[in-house]
Structure 1
């Protein structure tokens, strides 16, 4: 049991008065923004110490969890290689090194060589994530980027594989990188220091090593994206809205420019103007461009247009708009158009021939899953690749019960072959069942929940619900990536806990309208959907009352904190990782990451009606000594580049100050290694998961009657 003599820390208060729209606010913990202030460091360290002491009685359980999680790490190699030009590129884990090294071998046969070893870079022993890994067509150069802090400021470098040394680096905030067909020119996205989105496209010729900004976006509600067509023949620059990610992999653009890939210093041409008011995603195929466009409805249709005249009167419909089917992605092979569609929660791949007729359809048996076309290098800005020539499509299928499996489908023979399926030691998929449960929200709309539990779980019991519900971002079940992370979640399932992802409005799981139904003055719909999900699971006999824990990360952390404040009686506990805990203050300060973007989601507090609506539910400003909230786990990260550490820290300090006993059931940790996504490797990854799981299981145990 927790030592009741422990007393949580409480930082000193420095009240500051703010008046806005006749509302008087007293903020006592704004000084926590001062990172170099020794009092800030002392407070965060004191909270970390209290967190360790508060779960000291769970040391044995935590050790067991660490052992279980480590024992489930996949142990049969790496995913298949992807091909660029004459080489296949793949990762290989080196013994006694924390990070896999990048290797390649000629497609025609020949020896394997190492082209990049992240373990040789200073700082990667502490933290390392890959941004981009893009070989030139001939394999002479590799453009790659890395983050060795956790703040997502990726440094771009170019390596000459002849000699194995870097010939150029850019210390700016680089994003996606593409090569032109001349094997000498790269284009990459860069973010200016005063912006929070990539707003520049830079061209660099490796020979002269003089970067030139060739495109700059001044509208702060638009970001830039550079990409190369899957045929390799064209380059595209997209100016896309920063407020809607309902089609995140191939986000629609307000405006797109194009350039032949073999003319890197040529003149860019505008495919369509932003003033037409549509979101369009362009791809190249033979003698035409393909447009996925929302002009006929939010689920999009697919049209083709000649390369020499792409005006709207030349658009020829390939796939019509359908009310119940969303076109999410388009891919092309030499003789096939590939459309990734989704009907409800179920994805499918439809292959069409050169006449637009359906050849084959791939529909997974999973009720809710992740389906990804192509093979990726795995970096933050990597693009999935599929060989353009031939008739083989490679895709990856993952779900709550299926470890992410790489599959090759022969479109001519309509036959699938598994290329790679991870081996998870001790895992037996037949012991678990994944389903989709539907509940009704307070306005009668059906809200789906992707759910997994052991088949032998009896009757109602504890449930952990994960939620996001912002920016139109979709959260699908997979096996390894967050939020599924089944290598960790299995320790919960094996102890009788069900796990689910609630697809609330505000997310994009059911299309753009699903997102728009919970924005600005309708944002509270996100929270009422989550409340309905919890109550619906109780009504359906899946969850026990007082045995539901809700969990969210980043904006999802703000979702669970807000929801718990609306219905503190409904939830056993709350887990808020790197949460946007002060929505209103974030949007009042446009120097903070994504603040301007968030006004499209939550409303603009500079506008009086928006301020009033936000003020009514903002987690930070609705704390009260009279309202007792559920036990809560919160964390932050000093080097977080998205949700700055002081956002959760201020919330915790304010909540403690309002409670007579300093709210001892509130646990707060600040990570000193890593950023928004936690540790990148090593024991820290497992420790962070085991800490949360041990704390969660302890809350479920406390919910049981004496």
Structure 2
């Protein structure tokens, strides 16, 4: 389906300096109720990072970065500092350890341990993933012909992960003759996968190993040739190679090199199995080339050469390519077709024209039907059209006010059944098979929430805040029924707001631990995402990025105004680019929030975007701007959280990161916390937690990741004096 990053630290006995002259981290006497064991307790002191000033000059402007030295991942002093921060967080949160354990047990207790995905059929086999009780990792399996056939285990990730602190399998891809499996393995959490191969008829692993890849391998139709993508030192996907089974990876042939550092490349096979496609993409432009999958020694041909501002993606049906594109100012994208023999844009003809109020997110092609995933008024829709009958053109009715639906795995080209997934803030994730001919649907599976969960106990709704420029900002809410709008409700407000990524109002059993303790959960659909169409994204990027931050603040003020909460019970949370959002918001309006969770936050915007050796930098100049240009530099500098820390009171804050993060490097949050400690004027909590064995996505495994969730929730609840 196309779907449009002496010791240099010390535990000082002195308080860090700040411009107000008050101590941000001085030792305090904590008064407690006397017991036979203790009368008073000395609060733990945070580690104080040493200052080593580094001058960073650009466009005549000089910034002093006192904590630049923290970017040395292999330096024992840096590791020691991060460990000291972890020790401090653990000591501060010691009183919540029972609560953390209780929350963790609640969260994992709702998860059905012996579980299995809904099987899907592909070329005579039923494929599925299952979990065993108490095991952290999935088992990838299949059955031939029918679901009553004997199980063939392709990969047991629990066995592959034995003895490892981190493990992730990726890109399961079976050869056309159904005999061989290619898959990727990451054991560090840097998203650098080694591709392995398995003979499914014997169960033996082949000797072939291909390191430093994105994890996926695409089979040519000869069952021995695969194409894969490798990464450069900055982790950009930049080359496509061809590998022949049984030969050393060192002999693999380079078939494509993406030389433009603002682009990344990838490879896939069309659903028709007819063509191998190599794509290259940047924020504003795409380029694709194709090769007959029966001729792996042939030459790739370009479909349409790249043009700045021309975005498109490609699939195949019959003698035509079907292309989702923004050509001819189709801001919300449209669907066109073009002959395989003449694929250039001069031959593109509209199939689904552009619509001002509907975003075309992607398509799924079947032999008799075309299905489209669209978004209107912030909600996803699924549209079904019959190729040879223009009268068959309709939408599936979902019947809820706030929900998410999307096209799922549909590998069978000849099927008349569409598989899609659906959930809402009160409805667990549900898998449906929909007969496109009869319009009958079958619920194949609904996520089981173990325990006494009753969706009727919760209410979901959508409200709209008004931004300063008059824009209506949707907010999706969920809470237990019966709350009063008297400002007394603790509320967790979440948002992302970047890259055109839409935050859908879906279900989370994890979230119940907050809802059942009286929380309102609010998703602010701020600009920078794509919930309200492509324009929503354009209005929250580049030189309009501050709309993302002010939209979030306006949503917070509206929640307070409407009586859902008040500042001493309002919390904010965001991760990655959403962590940038958190950093900007606490600089701009810190008084609005009791506490903030910033997960793997992208907070050192200017320095990172000036360093093209850092992963993901060059490909994001059209998202944030290129600070080598003065206007972009000045604008980014005006909101970069790290550069705008000031002498003021900040909310209680929990900041998390991973030592091996490949998306947002650990030193950004580490530097930010160090600078906040030095400058802020309050005694509120400021905690940094670094997972020393994981990366951007946190711990691997099915359950371990929820230990960090339990820490986050305990942090929120402790600030409300709710330790139950």
TM over 0.5: yes
In structure 2, relative to structure 1, the CA distance for the partners of 1:138 and 1:366 (3 Å cut) is: farther
Question: Does 2:687 correspond to 1:671?
Answer: no
Q: Which segment is superposed worse, 542-551 or 107-116? A: 107-116
Which of the residues 324, 347, 354 maps onto 1:292?
324
Which residue in 2 is equivalent to 1:642? 663
**1:630 equivalent in structure 2:** 651
With over 3 angstroms needed to count, the CA separation of the structure-2 counterparts of 1:36 and 1:126, relative to structure 1, is closer
- Of residues 206-215 and 129-138 in structure 1, the stretch that sits farther from structure 2 once superposed is 206-215
* Cα 1:26–1:64 shift into 2, 3 Å: same
Alignment correspondent of 2:535: 513
The two structures, once aligned, show a CA RMSD in angstroms of: 2.2
Report deviation, 1:99. Answer: 1.9
Deviation track 1:363-418 (CA, whole Å, cap 9, x = no partner) reads 3223333323233xxxxxxxxx4311120111111232222111100111101001
Are 1:636 and 1:645, in contact at CA under 8 Å, matched by a contact in 2? yes
2:235 is the alignment partner of 1:214:
no
Q: 1:386 to 1:361 in 2, by over 3 A?
A: farther
**Structure 1 675/392 Cα, relative in aligned 2: closer, same or farther at 3 Å?**
same
CA distance in 2, matches of 1:628, 1:4: 23
Give 3-state SS (helix, strand or coil) of 1:370's partner. Answer: strand
Pair 1:170 & 2:190 matched: no
| Paired residues for 1:119-198 under 5 Å | 119-121=158-160, 125-167=164-206, 168-193=208-233, 195-198=234-237
Residues 1:362 and 2:390 aligned together:
no
Note if contact 1:235-1:261 (Cα within 8 Å) is conserved in structure 2: yes
Contact 1:635/1:669 (CA < 8 Å) preserved in 2?
Answer: yes
**1:36 pairs with 2:74:** yes
Does the alignment pair 1:699 with 2:719? Answer: yes
Decide whether aligned partners of structure 1 residues 572 and 25 sit closer, same or farther in structure 2, where only a CA change above 3 A counts: same
SS in structure 2 at match of 1:677:
coil
**Counterpart position of 1:452:** 478
Shift of 1:41: 2.1
Out of 381, 385, 389, the position equivalent to 1:348 is: 381
Q: What is the correspondence of 1:584-599 to structure 2 with a 5 Å cutoff?
A: 584-599=606-621
- Paired residue secondary structure (2:343): coil
Equivalent in the alignment of 1:681: 701
Q: Is the 8 A contact 1:632 1:666 kept in 2?
A: yes
1:313 offset after TM fit, Å?
4.8
Q: What residue in structure 2 maps to residue 247 of structure 1?
A: none
Q: Is the 8 A contact 1:75 1:424 kept in 2?
A: no
Q: Secondary structure, in 3 states, of the residue corresponding to 1:237?
A: strand
Equivalent in 337, 340, 347 of residue 370 of structure 2: 337
Match of 1:408 in 2: 433
Measure the CA separation in 2 of the matches of 1:473 and 1:682: 24
Find the counterpart in structure 1 of residue 292 from structure 2: 260
Deviations 1:336-381 (A, max 9, x none): 1111111121211111112362344213223333323233xxxxxx
- Alpha-carbon separation, structure 2, partners of 1:370 and 1:170: 38
What residue number does 1:418 align with?
A: 443
Is the 8 Å Cα contact of residues 124 and 148 (structure 1) preserved in structure 2? no
- For 1:279 and 1:51, the matched residues in 2 are separated by 45
1:374 aligns with 2:412: no
Which SS does the other structure have where 2:299 is aligned? coil
Comparing 626-635 with 346-355, greater Cα deviation is found at: 346-355
* C-alpha separation in 2, matches of 1:648 and 1:314: 49
Is the CA contact 1:454–1:496 (under 8 Å) kept in the aligned structure 2? yes
Match of 1:618 among 640, 644, 653: 640
Query: Match for residue 379 of structure 1?
Result: none
Q: 8 Å contact 1:449–1:503 — kept in the other structure?
A: yes
In 2, the alpha carbon distance for the partners of 1:206 and 1:399 equals 45
Q: How does 1:575-586 map to 2 (within 5 A)?
A: 575-586=597-608
Q: Could you list the runs of 5+ residues in structure 1 that have no partner in the other structure?
A: 245-252, 376-384, 480-485
Q: Is the 8 A contact 1:191 1:200 kept in 2?
A: yes
The alignment status of 1:6 with 2:44, answered yes or no, reads yes
Post-superposition offset of 1:431: 1.0
The residue aligned with 2:505 is 477
- 564-573 or 273-282: which moved more? 273-282
1:631: how far off? 0.8
1:549 is paired with a residue whose SS is: strand
**Cα distance in 2, alignment partners of residues 374 and 386 from structure 1:** 10
Tell me which residue corresponds to 2:509: 487
Tell me which of 85, 94, 113 is aligned to 2:123: 85
CA distance in 2 between counterparts of 1:633 and 1:532 reads 23
Conservation of the 8 A alpha-carbon contact between 1:434 and 1:453: yes
- Deviation of 1:582 after TM superposition, in Å, equals 0.9
Retained in 2: the 8 A contact 1:143–1:159? yes
Unpaired stretches in structure 2, ≥5 consecutive residues: 1-29, 32-40
User: Displacement of 1:594 after TM fit?
Assistant: 1.6
List structure 1 segments (4+ residues) > 4 angstroms apart after TM superposition: 1-4, 122-125, 207-210
Structure 1 residue matching 2:49: 3-state secondary structure: coil
Deviation at 1:37, TM superposition (A): 2.6
- In structure 2, relative to structure 1, the CA distance for the partners of 1:370 and 1:309 (3 Å cut) is same
Call closer, same or farther: CA 1:612–1:306 in 2, change over 3 Å: closer
Matches within 5 A, 1:294-313: 294-296=326-328, 297-313=330-346
When normalised by structure 1's length, the TM-score is 0.91
Corresponding residue for 1:483?
none
CA distance in 2, matches of 1:367, 1:503: 15
Distance change in 2, residues 1:551/1:274 (3 Å): same
1:457-506 deviation per Cα after TM superposition (whole angstroms, max 9, x unaligned): 22232211111111222221223xxxxxx222111111111112211111
Q: Which structure 2 residues correspond to residues 272-291 of structure 1 after superposition, within 5 A?
A: 272-275=304-307, 277-291=309-323
Q: Distance in 1 between matches of 2:344 and 2:599?
A: 47
Q: Measured at CA, do residues 225 and 683 of structure 1 come closer, stay the same or move farther in structure 2, by a change above 3 Å?
A: closer
CA distance in 1 between counterparts of 2:247 and 2:693 reads: 38
Scaled by the length of structure 2, the TM-score of the pair is 0.89
Q: CA deviation at 1:276?
A: 7.6
Give the number of equivalent residue pairs. Answer: 676
Query: What secondary structure sits across from 1:569 in the alignment?
Result: helix
Deviations 1:135-175 (A, max 9, x none): 11221110100212211111111111132222211111334
In structure 2, relative to structure 1, the CA distance for the partners of 1:510 and 1:124 (3 Å cut) is: farther
How many Å separate the matches in 1 of 2:590 and 2:162?
Answer: 43
